[in-house]
Structure 1
Amino acid sequence: MNTPVAKAGIIWIQQGFQTFKKRPFELLFMFFGVIFFNLTLSLIPMVGSFLPFIFGPVLGMGIMHACRDIDEGKPFARGSLLIAFRSPALKPLLMLGVLYTAALVAALASSIPADDGALWNYLTDPSKADQKAIIKSNIGWGMLTFFAVYTPAAMAFWYGAPLVMWHGMSVVKAMFYSFFAVWRARKAFLMYLIAWCGIMSFVALIIGIGGGVLNILLLPLMLTISLVMYCTFYFTYKEIFSRDQMV
């Protein structure tokens, strides 16, 4: 396990954009596959809102696998998105997704005492949200509480999927290593977060200045940025973990 320097957070983003430039159409096709898969899952009654989170590690490893192949100069393999479904790691990855979903719900529920449920109500049923009531509520405290609980959980799940699938770790061991890996790389991740905030702010500024004409480009631009962010996940992993013992 390596400890990256702070500027690595910027380099990861650069590598994500470079990877997208090498195979933009193939990666976009995969990303639309993820979106379609999640939309289909969300239509299932009762559990549909949870299934995209549960299958997140499974589909995420498909994009990670594609990024690894692109990075190593290998041909783009068809069916990369579904590679985890054919892996012995499928069940542990789904378990990881279940635990992540439970942690997300628990973190969101922890905000209820801080803001009387304002954040919970806004995220679970935004169609009924009253903007004036939200402004007057303590939703800011609710968000702070949510992130205070969610951040350690996110650290434990960040590298869970690749450690399970590529290193053959158990779910618990993968979460343990993931948490401390992110903690050791906290300076790099801080730079990573600041850089992404800067990019998103710049995009919002340009769209705001450009008005209606540039608004047409907002959706494809946001999809591209989201995909590039997915690509950077692989490079954060590559920087920190040696792959000599990969399965």
Structure 2
Amino acid sequence: MKLNIVPARTGLLWVKQGMRAFFKQPIALSGLFFMFMAVISMCTILPWIGSVLALVLIPGATLGMMAASHEASRGRFPMPTILVTAFRAGHQQMRSMLVLGALYAAGFVGLLGLTALLDGGQFAQLYLVGGRISADLLNDERFLGAMWLFTLGYLPLSLLFWHAPALVHWDHVPPVKSLFFSLVACWRNKGAFTIFGLAWMGVLTTGLLLASVVGGLLGPLIGSTLVMVAMLVLLAMFFASLVFTFRDCFALQAPVVDTSA
């Protein structure tokens, strides 16, 4: 494994590559992302433990989307089983991925715990148990402070886990070391990741704005459905671009993907 330093403009290339891979297999990648979200949503039905279980599964599911994007970029149709690639590579690899998932859940819950110091746990409870954001909450300075603390704190957490699933699965890096390597790779390539993030913000904002305008002409029910579908499709595109950030940052050959049933 060798860390590769890329120019800042590579961030825009990653966005283009993700979109190109998505449009090679739009139905497959959209369907896989819908499955991803459905599984996470089903987990959260269970009170408290369900939300934690969903967090544990996110790194493995993210790896599945990366593997699917890699297959799509090569013109292959990714089968539904590719979504569980992280858990089909042997006992040791599955254990490492579950450890990584547990670390992610611990970091996420720990961050929620910090927000509880500001608002008494209102923001954390909203995430773990569910509910609606009322007007009173939006006018509560403590709740807003907790929300901003979570938003700012999630950035370093996401960088820690950005490359970690791929490093654990494809390069057999131990979970804890994968977090260190992921953070270093993101920091050393901060220019490219800044461009990458800004470009995706622009794509998401533009896409949702267009969906809102078109939906407004079709009526509230169809409009809200169109915006929801647009959001899911755009997020599927985003996840399709992740594998290219990993491939370029670590100068590895194309990852081997097991597509067997």
TM-score above 0.5, yes or no: yes
In structure 2, do the counterparts of structure 1 residues 175 and 218 end up closer, same or farther at CA, with 3 Å as the change threshold?
same
Superposition map of 1:78-89 within 5 A: 79-88=81-90, 89=93
Distance 1:205 1:74 in 2: 32
Deviation at 1:112, TM superposition (A): 2.6
Worse-matched range after superposition: 17-26 or 110-119: 110-119
- CA distance in 2 between partners of 1:117 and 1:86 (Å): 38
Offset of residue 102 of structure 1? 0.8
Q: Once the 2 structures are TM-superposed, how far is the Cα of residue 118 of structure 1 from its aligned partner?
A: 4.5
For 1:49, the equivalent position in structure 2 comes to: 51
Matched, 1:102 2:102: no
Flag structure 2 segments of 5+ consecutive residues without an equivalent.
Answer: 257-261
- Asked whether the 8 Å contact 2:47–2:129 carries over to 1, the reply is no
Structure 2 residue aligned with 1:180, among 157, 166, 184? Answer: 184
Quick check: 170-179 or 58-67, which moved more?
Answer: 58-67
Whichever residue aligns with residue 24 of structure 1, its letter is: P
Q: 1:129 to 1:45 in 2, by over 3 A?
A: closer
Q: C-alpha distance in 2, partners of 1:208/1:30? A: 24
Aligned partner of 2:195 among 183, 191, 195: 191
Q: 1:93-172 residue pairs with structure 2 within 5 A?
A: 93-127=97-131, 129-172=133-176
- What does residue 259 of structure 2 align with? none
User: What is the number of residues matched between the two proteins?
Assistant: 247
Structure 1 window deviating more from structure 2 (36-45 vs 54-63): it is: 36-45
Partner of 2:33: 31
- Cα distance, 1:244 vs structure 2: 4.5
1:5 Cα deviation from its structure 2 partner: 1.7
Cα distance in structure 2, aligned partners of 1:78 and 1:117: 38
Asked if structure 1 preserves the Cα contact closer than 8 Å seen for 2:48 and 2:129, the reply is no
Instruction: Confirm or deny: 8 A CA contact 1:110 1:149 kept in the other structure.
Output: no
In structure 1, C-alpha distance between the alignment counterparts of 2:211 and 2:146, rounded to whole Å: 30
Which shows bigger deviation, 53-62 or 64-73? 64-73
For 1:101 and 1:242, the matched residues in 2 are separated by: 29
What is the match of residue 249 of structure 2?
A: 240
Structure 1 residue 143: Cα displacement: 3.1
Structure 1 residue 51: Cα displacement: 1.2
Indicate the larger mover: 141-150 or 228-237: 141-150
* Displacement after TM superposition at 1:176 (Å): 0.9
Q: Is the 8 A contact 2:55 2:105 kept in 1?
A: yes
CA distances 1:132-178 after superposition (whole Å, capped 9, x unpaired): 24223233432332244332222111111110010011011111100
List runs of 5+ in structure 1 lacking aligned partners. none
* Residue of structure 2 equivalent to 1:206: 210
Identity percentage of aligned residues: 26
Give the superposition deviation at 1:196.
1.9
Distance (Å, rounded) in 2 between the aligned partners of 1:246 and 1:16: 16
SS in 1 for 2:49: coil
- How far apart, CA to CA, are the structure 1 residues paired with 2:166 and 2:183? 13
Question: 1:211-242 CA deviation, whole Å, 9 max, x = no partner?
Answer: 15271421221111011111011111111112
Q: Match of 2:184, as an amino acid?
A: F
Instruction: Find the aligned partners of 1:134 and 1:237 in 2 and give their Cα distance.
Output: 38
Secondary structure of 2:50's match?
Answer: coil
Between 189-198 and 226-235, the greater mean CA deviation after superposition: 189-198
Task: Give the match for residue 67 of structure 2.
Answer: 65
The structural deviation recorded for 1:125 is 4.6
- Alignment CA distance shift 1:217-1:160 (3 Å): same
CA distance in 1, matches of 2:156, 2:50: 26
- Specify whether residues 204 and 109 from structure 1 end up closer, same or farther in structure 2 by C-alpha distance, changes over 3 A only: same
Aligned partners of 2:97 and 2:168 also within 8 Å: yes
Alignment correspondent of 2:234: 225
> For 2:30 and 2:170, how far apart are their aligned partners in 1?
24
Q: Give me the whole-angstrom Cα distance separating, in 1, the residues matched to 2:169 and 2:153.
A: 26
- Any conservation in 1 of the 2:22–2:72 contact (CA below 8 Å)? no
1:78: Cα distance to partner? 5.8
